[in-house]
Amino acid sequence: MSGEIIGTYATAICLLIGSAFIIVGVIGLLKFNDPMTRLHAPTKVGTIGIGMLLLASMIHSFVLGDTSVHEILIMAFLFVTAPISAHFIAKVSIHTRTCATPPPPPRDDTWSTLSVPEQEVQAEN
């Protein structure tokens, strides 16, 4: 088996995996009703799907003898901007009160310190 055949198979596998991830992301985007649940499908699953499609493009160009680094730049841009856009969508959803407000955190002065809560000290004694 030559390197060209192996590269073609690797390209096809990456295309199939990427397409499957993108289809799952689209179904999740269409199925969920709330913006807070909707943002997970395109940002998490779609990012991996597009990353696999770009990897397939890189493998294919390598098999043809060309070198292509444009896909690496696209992946870097995608992996940086997808979490930021998801964060902005969540913040807008919370500020416009279109979703359930998360409960406030309990009062706890020991969560970022080395102090032990009073209940645990009393339970040990």
* Domain ranges (residues) in the chain: 3-101
pLDDT at 105: 67
Write the single-letter amino acid at 44: K
Report the candidate in 45, 70, 41, 66 with the shortest Cα–Cα distance to residue 55: 70
What residues of the chain score a pLDDT lower than 50? none
- Report the alpha-carbon distance of residue 22 to residue 55 in Å, rounded: 14
**Alpha helix positions (H), 1-125:** 3-31, 35-38, 40, 46-63, 70-95, 118-124
pLDDT at 96: 81
pLDDT at 124: 67
- What pTM was computed for the model? 0.68
pLDDT at 113: 67
pLDDT at 16: 95
pLDDT at 120: 63
